[in-house]
Structure 1
Amino acid sequence: MRLTSFTDYSLRTLLYLCAHRDQLVTIQDIADMHSISKNHLMKVVYQLGQSGLVETVRGRNGGLRLAKDPKDINIGALVRMTETDFFMAECFDREHDTCPLTPNCALKHTLNDATRAFLAVLDQQTLQDMLPQQAEAGAAKPVRIVRGAAA
């Protein structure tokens, strides 16, 4: 299974915003950090804003920030929101399934179980869980991100 770039960029955006919670950041900041298209990232940020995960501040000194606490952002829910489908094989799409084996094939059920297991693992994780942890305190440690590396 492979996540779409839309989901990947959504996760990267949220992690970047976590690392910079003390300031507003711009779409350009995130695009530059990850060497991705600003135009594509604008669509990602728009959807994250519509879903209530990101707050956008307009104006000359505007930017983005998390709208929710990282512990309240579930990774499984985010992936479901950003992925268009979970068709692991043609037979998952009833409208376009032309495989003659579908009626008697157990592979579809196995792949369906695997997809459910994949999502079940993601459902157990929050954005907070994805942040670096301080060994002694067990609390989230702010990350200073330098282009191309985490410091």
Structure 2
Amino acid sequence: MQITQYTDYALRVLIYLGACPERRVTIKEIAETFDISRSHVMKIVNQLVTLGFVEGTRGKGGGLRLNRAPAAIGVGEVVRLMEPGFDLVDCFRAEPNCLLSPSCRLKGALQTALQAFLAALDEVTLADLIVNQPRLRDMLGVIALTPAP
């Protein structure tokens, strides 16, 4: 199983925000930390805001912060919502092109594997990923600043 880079970056954004609960974080800060273009981070953040994971405030003193408690953000939920679809192989598509599709059992096996993959992710929350916040902050080079209102 593999998630897209887009979803990987979305999880990184959430982890970063979870490591900085006391303040608002800028898109520029996230982009520089992970060496991702600001426009790409902005696109990801816009989707995270739309989905209700992140709250964004514009203007002076603005920035990003989590819109839910880390324990209320499931990794499986994030992956399901950020991924455009888990078409692992051709036969997962609405109109498969594979000649074997009508009688092949691979789709069933892969569907079972996908369900197990997502079930494992459902057991993990953002809180689990940021449990060692001091070490995480150190690795990210995050310094606590002024508290978010």
| TM, length-normalised to structure 1 | 0.88
Q: Which residue of 2 aligns with 1:102?
A: 101
Instruction: Tell me what 1:144 maps to.
Output: 137
Distance 1:142 1:59 in 2: 31
Tell me the equivalent position of 2:25. Answer: 25
* Per-residue deviation, 1:83: 0.0
Partner residue, 1:112: 111
Q: 1:146 to 1:76 in 2, by over 3 A?
A: closer
Higher relative contact order (CA 8 A, sep 6+): 2
- Closer, same or farther in 2 for the Cα pair 1:142/1:49, shift >3 Å? farther
* RMSD after superposition: 1.9
Structure 1 residue ranges without an equivalent (≥5): 134-139
Runs of 4+ more than 2 Å apart: 140-143
The one-letter amino acid of 2:55's match is E
In the alignment, the residues of structure 2 paired with residue 44 and residue 80 of structure 1 have an alpha-carbon distance, to the nearest angstrom, of 14
Shift of 1:145: 4.0
Mapped partners of 1:110, 1:143: distance in 2: 37
What one-letter code is carried by the residue in structure 2 that aligns with 1:53? F
Identical-residue share of aligned pairs (%)? 44
Aligned length: 143
User: Aligned residue for 2:129?
Assistant: 130
Secondary structure, aligned partner of 1:143: helix
Look up the SS of the partner of 1:64 in the other structure. Answer: strand
Report the structure, 1 or 2, having the larger helix content.
2
Q: Point out where structure 2 has 5 or more consecutive residues left out of the alignment.
A: 143-149
Alpha-carbon offset, residue 132 of structure 1: 3.3
Equivalent residue, structure 2, for 1:42 = 42
Alpha-carbon spacing, 1:45–1:145, altered in 2? closer, same or farther (3 Å)? farther
Retained in 2: the 8 A contact 1:19–1:142?
no
Could you tell me how far apart the structure 1 residues matched to 2:14 and 2:22 are?
14
Q: TM-score, normalised by structure 2?
A: 0.89
3-state SS in 1 of match to 2:114? helix
| Secondary structure of the corresponding residue to residue 136 of structure 2 | coil
The residue identity in structure 2 corresponding to 1:124 is: E
| 2:61 match: secondary structure | coil
